[in-house]
Amino acid sequence: MPPPSPLTLATCQFDVSGDVRANARAIRRQMRVAARRGARLVHFSEAALSGYAGADFESLDGYDWALLADETRRIRDLAAELELCTVLGSTHRQREGKPTNCLYLIDPRGRIAKRYDKCFLIPRDREHYAPGSCVVTHTIDGVKFALLICFDFRFPEIWRACLRRRCRVVLFSSYQAQPKQNRLMEHVAPATLTTRASENFIHVVANNTSGGRQWYNTRIHRPDGSIAAESPWNKPHVLVHTIDLAQDASLYNPIGSLPHRLPDFG
């Protein structure tokens, strides 16, 4: 089997709001920037299109689902036009029960190929969303990646599940820009992302919203936890970076010392 090709991707931050049309315009604008700069994949924050219930608006009661569907279709059409794989944060309306806080994986033909539903919800989330229960992975150019969202970062077991599925990259979407400063999370979030990368020897592509006081800026961690690239703080930005798995051999790999099958400690 040939080695994976280097993967050029873009991860984006912008001022997400409750205005779906404004969010969609920002997303399409950043998709075009990503494509012009050679990205094969573009990655957006949690709730990037739909807005975030409990933060951008009080609840999903009376939400304009038709508008969300229309703007999703327009983004899918642009993904097909640009031949750009797109990871889109949104809200998925289910036939029964609460919607999910999700990431749609739109393939270069504009089809929704997969969907990841946020598994770990803070108490406020549970007022509006149902939790997911499955890890979702995908492969582009031989590079296998997983999708995770925001509060998932606090739970190492889901990251280990990504490792068990032989993922080399995690695309991690967050909504952690707030009007007020949170000194605790401004320390905890970056430290935890560094830890998740290094303890699993995995590339972590971690984006965030802007428009408030960010707990961390959009950044890409190497498998040793160090930062390979990062966006400026608190303003819209498209961060383009190439991940070359062949370079991982030069980094200290703690996973390489473990048995082929990771132990189950029960």
pTM for the predicted model, two decimal places:
0.94
Instruction: Determine, yes or no, domain membership for 25.
Output: yes
The reply to whether 251 falls in a domain is no
Q: Is the residue at 228 inside a domain?
A: yes
> What is the domain range of residue 201?
7-246
Q: Is 43 among the domain residues?
A: yes
Q: Is residue 78 part of a domain?
A: yes
With respect to residue 177, please indicate whether it lies within any of the assigned structural domains: yes
Confidence of residue 180 (pLDDT cuts 50, 70, 90): confident
Domain with residue 206: its CATH number is 3.60.110.10
Mean pLDDT of 71-88: 98
3-state secondary structure the chain: CCCCCCEEEEEEECCCCCCHHHHHHHHHHHHHHHHHCCCCEEECCCCCCCCCECCCECCCCCCCHHHHHHHHHHHHHHHHHHCCEEEEEEEECCCCCCCEEEEEEECCCCCEEEEEECCCCCHHHHCCCECCCCCEEEEECCEEEEEEEHHHHHCHHHHHHHHHCCCCEEEEECCCEECCCCHHHHHHHHHHHHHHHHHHCCEEEECCCCCCEECCCCEEECCCCCEEEECCCCCCEEEEEEECHHHHHHCCCHHHHCCCCCCCCC
Instruction: Provide the number of structural domains found in the chain.
Output: 1
Compute the average pLDDT of residues 36-42: 98
61 lies in some domain: yes
- Residue 250: band (very low, low, confident or very high) from pLDDT cuts 50, 70, 90: confident
- Summarised one tens digit per residue, pLDDT across range 157-179 is 999 999 999 999 999 999 987 76
Residue 264 lies in a domain: no
